[in-house]
Amino acid sequence: MADHYDVLGVDRNASADDIKRAYRRLARELHPDVNPSADAAERFKLVTHAYDVLSDPQQRQQYDAGPQQGFGGFGGFGDIFETFFGGAAAGARGPRSRRERGQDALLRVEVDLDEVVFGTKRDLEVDTAVLCDTCAGSCCAPGTSPVTCDICHGTGSIQRTVRSLLGNVVTSNPCGSCRGYGTIITDPCPTCAGQGRVRARRTIPVDIPAGVDTGLRIQLPGQGEVGQAGGPAGDLYLEIKVRHHDVFSRNGDDLLATLQVHMADAILGKHVTLNSLDGPVDVELKPGTQSGEVITVKDRGITRLRGAGRGDLRIGVHVVTPTKLSRKEEELIKQFAAKRKDDPPQLAHFQQGLFAKLRDRFLNL
């Protein structure tokens, strides 16, 4: 890399005013608005960078000093600790990488209860960070590459020797010119502004397994945001929410439903075909069916998320007593009641029936 003093055309002992005058003279000569040639543009960048370094007293002192060396074959006190005590001297770690892992992302997905039975597929639209197509994550404009930092000479850190009671101690700090990267991007990519990634919408196909429930999170490795400078992508997490269903409810892997039955059908019994979440279901009402009884249809519930098979469909029976009767119906009921020899109505031992438990569950939804 060209010497900054040579670039500006000044002596190494030049004053701050001399450096400023030299920069202004060259800037007027090489500025793109005055001289549009490609050679002038490259020289203007070098002149500007040289002035940025030499006009700052601290950076100029670091540039003049060059890389510092310690004593006795060690890089300094930190290197002694690293050699004898296993510590890692800051300067020995080298420059840090521009590539960073991308952030994880969280997306909430709503599914219907019938999709939970067997699982479903979704194409999710995600607004996220993707790799820049222009620079492919290099952060540099096409045809260019990072240049070695002339302050830290590619190490990413600046070492200073400090005298102490223990002798000369070398301290190491990240280079302020390159921010510890060891290189400087003089021509950042115009598309991503030197980030190596851009924001974009992309479609992610997702398999949502059967048996998921509200609050469950599904991890999709590598489907999150792409990291800076083309770093590896983070993970995408899907948080599931199951929508409320007007007919069916869920209890673990079982489906719950309520069947309203006419009083006559409960007395005489009846064969009923019901529409479940995955097709018709045949249900047999036995004669004398009571409110609160539960009819279980095996293996017509939700497919288990972990393990084989499905839960059951449990149907709570609700016998409906008519509130309005025609004269003929009322007369028939009276005749029926007159022939019955049942005991008169009276208080009985309280029972928490299965249907009552189902009803309580529905009320808490």
Give the helix ranges, DSSP H, for the chain.
4-8, 16-30, 38-54, 57-65, 77-85, 113-118, 263-268, 327-339, 354-363
* Residue 139 assigned ligand-binding role: no
In this structure, is residue 352 part of a structural domain? yes
Write the CATH number for 14. Answer: 1.10.287.110
The reported pLDDT for the residue numbered 346 is 67
Query: Quick one: 355 and 299 in the same domain?
Result: yes
Query: Quick one: 275 and 235 in the same domain?
Result: no
Query: Quick one: 232 and 274 in the same domain?
Result: no
The reported pLDDT for the residue numbered 63 is 82
Taking the C-alpha atoms of residue 182 and residue 192, their distance in angstroms, rounded to an integer, is 21
In this structure, is residue 135 part of a structural domain? no
Query: Quick one: 291 and 213 in the same domain?
Result: no
Could you tell me how many residues make up the chain?
A: 365
Q: Which residues contact 11 (CB under 8 A, 6 or more apart)?
A: 5, 18
Count other C-beta atoms under 10 Å from residue 333's C-beta. 13
Quick: pLDDT tens for 86-138.
333 434 467 889 999 999 999 999 999 999 998 999 999 999 999 999 999 99
The reported pLDDT for the residue numbered 190 is 94
Domain coverage including residue 230: 105-129+192-242
pTM over cut 0.85: no
Domain count, the chain: 3
* Residue 140 assigned ligand-binding role: no
The reported pLDDT for the residue numbered 90 is 39
The reported pLDDT for the residue numbered 347 is 64
Query: Quick one: 120 and 227 in the same domain?
Result: yes
* Residue 189 assigned ligand-binding role: yes
Residue where one domain finishes, among candidates 217, 242, 267: 242
The reported pLDDT for the residue numbered 24 is 85
The reported pLDDT for the residue numbered 81 is 42
Query: Quick one: 353 and 278 in the same domain?
Result: yes
The reported pLDDT for the residue numbered 208 is 94
Give per-10-residue mean pLDDT for the chain (365 aa).
83 90 85 74 81 85 64 40 39 77 93 93 93 94 92 87 71 86 92 94 93 93 93 94 93 93 91 91 92 92 88 93 86 81 64 53 48
The reported pLDDT for the residue numbered 312 is 94
Count other C-beta atoms under 10 Å from residue 206's C-beta. 17
